[in-house]
Amino acid sequence: MAVNRRDVVKGMAMGGAAITSSAAAAAPGGDKIVHHVFFWLKRPDSSADRDQLIAGLRTLAGVEVVRSLQIGVPASTEQRDVVDSSFHVSELIVFDNVVDQKIYQDHPVHQAFVAKCGHLWRKVIVYDMKTV
């Protein structure tokens, strides 16, 4: 996903070892890939911007390798030191494997989303996990 590199959180992508990286290229039907993306809006007080981002995210369901898509906003759970509720919108997608995840990244529908909505956010963090 295209982002403004200067806006990437310092300290992220620190090159920490992925414990099972060598085993994570699951075969079709194997372990799932859970792709969770958190967005921080440039204009967090703009409900129009938030709604535009959410509408854009909904188009991603049209990518054939997307097994499930959930879109969310911060929940009103108890505020604890460990809870990061500073994000504004998040997207949770499940893929069958890392090959499908790559197909998604390069897919015209995903590229169109980034082109149309990329100006809305100032920061994004992506977590990709392989289920075990």
Say how many residues touch a copy of itself, by CB under 8 A. 62
Q: Under the criterion CB under 8 A, does residue 25 sit at the interface with a copy of itself?
A: yes
Under DSSP, the state recorded for 60 is G
CB 60, min distance to a copy of itself, A: 14
The token duo for 75 is 């929940």
| Interacting residues of 76 by C-beta distance below 8 A, sequence separation 6+ | none
Q: Under the criterion CB under 8 A, does residue 65 sit at the interface with a copy of itself?
A: no
Nearest to 13 by CA among 27, 25, 3, 22: 3
Pick out residues in 44-63 that bind a copy of itself (CB under 8 A).
Answer: 44, 47, 50, 54
92-129 burial code (b ≥16 CB/10 A, e <16): ebbbbbbebbebbeebeebeebeeebeebbbbbbeeee
CA-to-CA separations, 100 to 15, 25, 69, 73, 97, in angstroms, rounded: 23, 10, 14, 26, 6
For a copy of itself, the binding residue among 85, 111, 115, 119 (CB under 8 A) is 85
Pick out residues in 111-130 that bind a copy of itself (CB under 8 A).
Answer: 124-130
For a copy of itself, the binding residue among 42, 62, 92, 103 (CB under 8 A) is 92
**Near a copy of itself by CB under 8 A, which window of 59-67, 85-93, 108-116?**
85-93
Residues interacting with a copy of itself, by CB under 8 A? Answer: 1, 3, 5, 8-9, 12-22, 24-25, 32-36, 38, 44, 47, 50, 54, 70-88, 90, 92, 98, 101-102, 105, 124-132
